[in-house]
Amino acid sequence: MQHVSNLRVNRTIFRKVRTETILKIYNTLVLPTFLYGSENWTLTALQRRRIEAAEMKLLRPLAGCTLYDHKTNDSLRRELQTECILDKIVEYRRNWFLHLQRMPPNRIPLKSYHYRPQGRRTIGRPKKRWREQL
C-alpha cells in the first residue's frame, strides 16, 4: 500500500515541479549525502556498478523516461547536464590526496596513508587499497 502512495507522490512532484528545481535539489541535497566520505572509499567493480545504477534510478524519472525507452546513461546525463557520480568520487579522492600531500608529517591521516602492516598476509588475492585507485 505504501508503494502505491510513494508512486503517487513521485508522479505529483515530477509533474508539478520544474526539472531545474528538482536538479537543484538533487545537486544540493542528494549528491552531498550520497558522496559523504567517498574520498576514502575503496570501490570494487560491483560497487561501482551499484552506485551508477542508483544514480540512474534517480535521474531517469527526472528526465521523464524509463528503462524501456532505451536511452543511454550518457545521453541522459547530457540532457540533464549532470556529471557522473563516479567521476565526482575520483575528483574527491584526488582532492583528498592533494590535501594529504600538504599535511605536516605528524598528522594522523598522513601517518595512516604511509602505514605498512607487519607480518604475513592472508591467503588469497590481496585486498584492494585506496592508493591503488588514485
Q: Decide which of 41 and 125 is more confident.
A: 41
29-88, pLDDT tens digit by residue? 888 888 888 888 888 889 999 999 998 988 888 888 888 888 898 999 998 888 899 999
> Cβ distance 71 to 43 under 8 Å?
no
Residue pointed to by grid coordinates 570494487? 44
DSSP string, 76-123: HHHHHT---HHHHHHHHHHHHHHHHHHS-TT-HHHHHHH----SPPPS
Q: Which of residues 91 and 5 earns the better pLDDT score? A: 91
Between 73 and 8, residue with greater pLDDT = 73
Q: Is the pLDDT of residue 127 over 70?
A: yes
Place of cell 510513494: 6
CB 59 within 8 A of CB 25: no
Q: How far apart are CA 75 and CA 84, in angstroms?
A: 11
